[in-house]
């Protein structure tokens, strides 16, 4: 596959994630949209690194670190959402916004 097709796939992932993050009110669906957006960015970075310097291993290490950080961030986010739901039955973004008051 060519660079353009991979970048088109990354852009499509990012756009679908952006649409999901902007249109959903469920906190879990919002986090899924953010996950897709991050996946698109990581895919674009990995493809760009592969085409710029295919023999270098620094890009692979950077991508593994980014995916690990993304997984850790989502795990912590889901733990916070689970705690909010268990304590106050909050599952929508507008209900969570009331916690600031």
Compute mean pLDDT per 10 residues along the chain, 101 residues long, and list them: 91 96 88 92 91 83 90 90 84 70 59
Q: What is the pLDDT of residues 82-92, one digit of tens each?
A: 888 888 887 77
Name the nearest CA neighbour of 74 among 40, 19, 33, 45: 33
Provide the whole-model pTM. 0.81
Q: What is the pLDDT of residue 24?
A: 86
User: How far lies 17's CA from each of 2, 71, 86, in Å?
Assistant: 23, 16, 27
């Amino acid at each position: 596959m060519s660079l353009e097709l991979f970048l088109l796939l990354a852009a499509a992932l990012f756009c679908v994630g952006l649409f999901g993050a902007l249109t959903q009110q469920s906190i879990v669906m919002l986090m899924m949209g953010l996950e897709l957006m991050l996946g698109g960015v990581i895919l674009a970075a990995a493809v760009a690194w592969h085409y710029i310097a295919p023999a270098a291993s620094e890009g692979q290490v950077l991508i593994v670190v980014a995916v690990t950080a993304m997984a850790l961030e989502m795990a912590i986010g889901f733990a916070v959402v689970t705690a909010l739901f268990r304590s106050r039955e909050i599952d929508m973004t507008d209900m969570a916004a009331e916690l600031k008051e």
